[in-house]
């Protein structure tokens, strides 16, 4: 049973973290899930009102939102009470202490950081922590490197040390940093962190987001100045997968007084303060073995004496992740503990990496069907739904269920919590993904290995075909067969499609490469709208070009028209490339006339109206195109769009009464139709702002951002922020106006939305910021 009050409070808390740290909500959800050892889907389930049945998790969520977001004691009390937390005052007193009358020596301004949270006790590693902190305090080297094999705990150590460099009760250095910036190769599909990613993150965390929009050569200089004026600890996780030499050079030359700390499996940097990381100490690894054994139900192991467990620890090199995988192996084999430990111990004497043995032994335990499921899972860029993994692996239902149970039990496959198993999703730990892709015969970027010792090329092709077949059919089912079916999507449909976008994008690449034109069209119709809404016009252009080729090859003239006019014409219009815009619009309108597709004729002339307006041509040209559009069709969706254009033209000449009338008429067009367009809220806000109805205008802007901010159109969201900026400018609050203007700029710049950016720049010029 869901709790609506808990749902609203948790959403408020997580949103406050996202806003304060400049992160996407989905990234915050992933960080919470990782800290609590649950999937992001479990966190999303809590956000739907399902209260965690673990008081420790409730306390963590409260602490996380307090430390990383902007929530107060009142919020904390309501949240804990709604979560069923008994006697919450003790927790509240600790997390929200009353301000002291006298400031303490440790009271300092808030530090800027985007660190992942810590959860639970950090076990051991005090010698290594001391070595890192010694480097921080002495600063004899600008760069330090935590080095060790996979699973040894490099990331945990880096996060722990970074938290000890922040102001607060955990501070263990004399002079805390002004900012701590966390970056990780794991945040990118190809595991390849690049210099541009790092520069953008530094700019965002230090609250200079507009620097991210600078050209590369200017951006490096601007961020360099920031690092000189703000003492910053920059962390780069998983450096061993990085191929960008410019990033390596940047880290090696980080300017004083800032420092850089990296984690890597290999010693790969010169002039670096190195912190080699080995296995946990004996007492620490025994504690870990017992805790994990309890967790997976190996009570016999948990209760074994120290000497017995020490042999398991020695066989795994006291590696934390290796211990967890080994215990899963012991449980799966069903053999006596001593037998398996002896086998593991003997093998560990003959291989340099204990994971080689663990994964090899795990692979031996899998039957052909279970191996097929693991290989299929390695193709997914993001997580996989239960249905998708079943369709790609193509094993019998009974064998599939058995395979899932075995892989999860062996810690080879991670699974989300779900009451309904059909809603369960799966993903691979990075170490397992590397192993599985190697077994398949592909690298981290899913390219064929030169010396392929894995599956046959035919097997790889078969799995990729299954992958494309599933997602093409899924796209038709979820997004619809028609190009404009998306206009009737609701928030849940957007969320579902957004979740699968990484998989859809790789599916269309494979389908296009193999000239499966029907699949290309189906996938493009699901991809082309949400990638634009989320601010990725380059992906929109690429998918539209693929779809245009497919439509021509199939003789699908209606689809060809829509991808010419809307898929490509509207994007080049957004970018201010008016010659290319007209090329696509002309081709699309001409073909639309040949097949009598009047809705496309209307839309094409609507875009021509916008082009005339943006080029500052005679307004009669813009108005004439709107008249052609309105006379071309009675379809409510396309009349709605033409009337919105009419409203924009009226607003451009400051006729706000007429603009509002057009916007209201455009909304009325959609009444009774399956279509929806929440952008009308924003345009009504601008009309009300022009009419001096400021409170009503702000209500419109905030409604769009509150209701549609997550899956709405980034361009429209930016214009809502611009509207709020104009409101604050009119009310003599330039600081607030500048904040919203910069937020609008940050949304528009990646899209290269020239017309809208010009309006934001004009405001920033008036504000002189």
Write the pLDDT tens digit of every residue in 214-248. 788 888 998 998 899 888 999 999 888 788 889 98
pLDDT at 525 over 60: yes
Residue 111 is predicted with a pLDDT of: 65
Residue 530 is predicted with a pLDDT of: 86
C-beta of residue 260 within 8 angstroms of C-beta of residue 234: yes
Phi-psi region of 178 (alpha: psi -120 to 50; beta: other; left: phi over 0): alpha
Please report the DSSP string for 730-758 in residue order: HTT-HHHHHHHHHHHHHHHGGGT-HHHHH
The rounded percent of the chain whose pLDDT value lies above 90 is 39
Residue 22 is predicted with a pLDDT of: 66
Most confident of 62-66, 388-392, 529-533, 678-682: 388-392
**For the segment 365-380, what is each residue's pLDDT rounded down to a tens digit?**
899 999 999 999 999 9
Question: Looking at residues 331-359, what average pLDDT do you find?
Answer: 63
pLDDT at 108 over 50: no
**For the segment 673-711, what is each residue's pLDDT rounded down to a tens digit?**
888 888 999 999 999 999 999 999 999 999 998 887 666
Alpha-carbon gap, residue 648 to 612, rounded angstroms: 12
Confidence of residue 419 (pLDDT cuts 50, 70, 90): low
Alpha-carbon gap, residue 502 to 427, rounded angstroms: 13
Q: Which of 243-247, 420-424, 751-755 has the lowest average pLDDT? A: 420-424
pLDDT at 556 over 50: yes
CA dihedral (767, 180, 167, 10) positive or negative: positive
The three-class DSSP label of residue 259 is: strand
Q: Shortest CA distance to 548 belongs to which of 503, 608, 588?
A: 588
C-beta of residue 537 within 8 angstroms of C-beta of residue 571: yes
Burial class, 62, CB count within 10 angstroms (exposed 0-12 / middle 13-18 / buried 19+): buried
Confidence of residue 106 (pLDDT cuts 50, 70, 90): very low
C-beta of residue 606 within 8 angstroms of C-beta of residue 648: no
**For the segment 592-643, what is each residue's pLDDT rounded down to a tens digit?**
999 999 999 999 999 999 999 998 767 899 999 999 999 999 999 999 999 9
pLDDT at 305 over 70: yes
Higher local confidence (pLDDT), 347 or 291: 291
Burial class, 187, CB count within 10 angstroms (exposed 0-12 / middle 13-18 / buried 19+): middle
pLDDT at 750 over 80: no
Could you tell me the two tokens for 512?
């296009």
The pTM (predicted TM-score) of the whole model is: 0.65
Alpha-carbon gap, residue 375 to 433, rounded angstroms: 9
Residue 430 is predicted with a pLDDT of: 66
pLDDT at 270 over 50: yes
Residue 476 is predicted with a pLDDT of: 92
Q: Token pair 């690429």 is at which residue?
A: 542
Residue 353 is predicted with a pLDDT of: 55
Confidence of residue 445 (pLDDT cuts 50, 70, 90): low
pLDDT at 429 over 80: no
Burial class, 731, CB count within 10 angstroms (exposed 0-12 / middle 13-18 / buried 19+): exposed
H/E run at residue 183: strand 179-184
Angle at 373 between CA 347 and CA 388, to 5 degrees: 150
Question: Looking at residues 312-333, what average pLDDT do you find?
Answer: 77
The rounded percent of the chain whose pLDDT value lies above 70 is 90
pLDDT at 561 over 90: yes
User: Torsion over CA of 467, 468, 473 and 477, rounded to 10 degrees?
Assistant: 80
Please list the alpha-helical segments (H only) found in 534-577: 537-554, 557-562, 570-574
What count of other Cβ atoms lies within 10 Å of the Cβ of residue 759?
Answer: 18
pLDDT at 8 over 50: yes
Alpha-carbon gap, residue 196 to 137, rounded angstroms: 29
pLDDT at 273 over 80: yes
Residue 260 is predicted with a pLDDT of: 93
The three-class DSSP label of residue 427 is: strand
Residue 334 is predicted with a pLDDT of: 66
Residue 437 is predicted with a pLDDT of: 83
C-beta of residue 82 within 8 angstroms of C-beta of residue 51: yes
Burial class, 492, CB count within 10 angstroms (exposed 0-12 / middle 13-18 / buried 19+): exposed
pLDDT at 102 over 60: no
Residue 496 is predicted with a pLDDT of: 85
Alpha-carbon gap, residue 111 to 97, rounded angstroms: 19
pLDDT at 128 over 70: yes
Question: Looking at residues 749-754, what average pLDDT do you find?
Answer: 84
pLDDT at 466 over 60: yes
Confidence of residue 441 (pLDDT cuts 50, 70, 90): confident
Higher local confidence (pLDDT), 455 or 29: 29
Q: What are phi and psi of 217, to 5 degrees?
A: -70, -35
Question: Looking at residues 445-458, what average pLDDT do you find?
Answer: 69
Contacts of 735 (CB under 8 A, 6+ apart): none
pLDDT at 105 over 60: no
Question: Looking at residues 113-135, what average pLDDT do you find?
Answer: 80
C-beta of residue 239 within 8 angstroms of C-beta of residue 195: no
Alpha-carbon gap, residue 520 to 130, rounded angstroms: 55
Question: Looking at residues 26-46, what average pLDDT do you find?
Answer: 82
Question: Looking at residues 128-144, what average pLDDT do you find?
Answer: 87
**Count of CA atoms in the C-beta half-sphere (13 A) of 538:** 3
Beta bridge partners of 181: 234
Contacts of 752 (CB under 8 A, 6+ apart): 537, 574, 575, 576
CA dihedral (64, 67, 72, 74) positive or negative: positive
Phi-psi region of 747 (alpha: psi -120 to 50; beta: other; left: phi over 0): alpha
What does the mean pLDDT of the chain come to?
85
Q: Shortest CA distance to 90 belongs to which of 63, 51, 121?
A: 63
Residue 761 is predicted with a pLDDT of: 92
Question: Looking at residues 446-463, what average pLDDT do you find?
Answer: 75
């Amino acid at each position: 049973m869901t709790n609506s009050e808990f749902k609203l409070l948790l959403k408020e808390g997580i949103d406050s973290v996202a806003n304060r740290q400049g992160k996407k909500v989905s990234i915050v959800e992933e960080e919470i899930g990782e800290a609590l050892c649950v999937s992001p889907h479990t966190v999303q389930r809590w956000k739907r009102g399902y209260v965690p049945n673990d008081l420790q998790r409730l306390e963590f969520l409260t602490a996380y939102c307090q430390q990383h977001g902007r929530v107060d004691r009142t919020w904390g009390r309501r949240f804990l009470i709604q979560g069923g937390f008994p006697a919450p005052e003790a927790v509240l007193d600790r997390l929200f202490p009353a301000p002291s009358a006298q400031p303490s020596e440790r009271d300092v301004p808030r530090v800027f950081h985007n660190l992942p949270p810590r959860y639970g006790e950090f076990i051991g590693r005090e010698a290594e922590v001391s070595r890192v902190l010694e480097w921080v305090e002495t600063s004899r080297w600008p760069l330090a490197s935590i080095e060790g094999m996979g699973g040894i705990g490099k990331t945990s150590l880096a996060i722990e040390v970074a938290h000890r460099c922040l102001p607060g009760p955990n501070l263990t250095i004399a002079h805390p940093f002004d900012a701590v910036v966390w970056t990780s190769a794991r945040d990118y599909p190809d595991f390849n962190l690049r210099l541009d990613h790092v520069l953008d993150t530094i700019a965002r965390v230090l609250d200079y987001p507009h620097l991210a929009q600078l050209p590369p050569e200017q951006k490096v200089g601007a961020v360099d100045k920031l690092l000189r004026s703000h003492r910053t600890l920059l962390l780069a996780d998983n450096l061993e997968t990085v191929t960008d030499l410019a990033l390596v050079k940047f880290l090696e030359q980080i300017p004083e007084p800032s420092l850089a700390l990296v984690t890597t499996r290999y010693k790969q940097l010169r002039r670096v303060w190195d912190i080699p990381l080995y296995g946990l100490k004996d007492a620490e690894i025994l504690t870990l073995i017992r805790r994990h054994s309890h967790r997976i139900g190996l009570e016999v192991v948990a209760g074994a004496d120290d000497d017995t467990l020490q042999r398991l620890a020695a066989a795994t090199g006291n590696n934390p992740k290796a211990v967890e995988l080994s215990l899963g192996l012991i449980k799966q084999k069903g053999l006596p503990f001593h037998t398996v430990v002896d086998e593991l111990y003997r093998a560990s004497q003959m291989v340099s990496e204990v994971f080689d043995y663990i994964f090899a032994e795990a692979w031996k335990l899998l039957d052909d069907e279970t191996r097929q499921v693991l290989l299929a899972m390695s193709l997914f860029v993001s997580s996989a739904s239960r249905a998708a993994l079943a369709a790609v692996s193509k094993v019998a239902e009974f064998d599939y269920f058995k395979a899932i149970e075995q892989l999860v039990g062996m810690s080879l496959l991670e699974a989300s919590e779900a009451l309904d198993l059909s809603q369960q999703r799966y993903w691979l730990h990075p170490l397992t993904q590397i192993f599985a892709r190697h077994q398949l015969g592909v690298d981290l970027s899913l390219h064929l290995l030169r010396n392929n010792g894995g599956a046959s090329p035919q097997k790889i092709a078969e799995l990729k075909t299954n992958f494309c077949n599933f997602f093409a059919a899924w796209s038709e089912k979820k997004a619809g067969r028609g190009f404009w079916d998306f206009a009737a999507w609701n928030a849940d449909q957007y969320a579902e499609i957004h979740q699968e976008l990484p998989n859809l994008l790789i599916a269309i690449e494979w389908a296009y490469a193999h000239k499966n034109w029907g699949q290309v069209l189906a996938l493009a119709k699901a991809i082309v709208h949400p990638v634009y809404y989320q601010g990725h016009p380059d992906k929109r252009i690429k998918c539209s070009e693929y779809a245009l080729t497919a439509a021509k090859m199939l003789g699908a003239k209606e689809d060809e028209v829509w991808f010419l006019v809307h898929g490509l014409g509207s994007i080049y219009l957004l970018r201010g490339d008016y010659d290319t815009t007209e090329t696509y619009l002309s081709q699309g309108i001409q073909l639309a006339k040949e097949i009598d597709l009047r809705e496309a004729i209307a839309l094409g002339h609507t875009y021509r109206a916008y082009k005339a307006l943006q080029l500052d041509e005679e307004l009669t040209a813009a108005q004439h195109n709107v008249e052609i559009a309105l006379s071309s069709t009675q379809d409510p969706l396309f009349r709605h769009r033409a009337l919105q254009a009419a409203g924009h033209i009226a607003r451009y000449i400051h006729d706000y009464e007429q603009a509002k009338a057009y916007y209201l008429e455009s909304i009325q067009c959609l009444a009774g139709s399956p279509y929806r367009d929440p952008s009308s809220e924003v345009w009504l806000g601008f009309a009300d702002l022009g009419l001096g109805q400021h409170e009503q205008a702000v209500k419109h802007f905030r409604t769009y951002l509150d209701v549609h901010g997550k899956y709405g159109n980034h361009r429209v969201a930016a214009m809502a922020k611009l509207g709020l900026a104009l409101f604050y400018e009119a009310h003599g609050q330039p600081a607030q106006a500048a904040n919203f203007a910069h937020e609008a700029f940050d949304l528009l710049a990646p899209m290269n939305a020239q017309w809208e950016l010009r309006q934001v720049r004009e405001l920033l010029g008036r504000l002189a910021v």
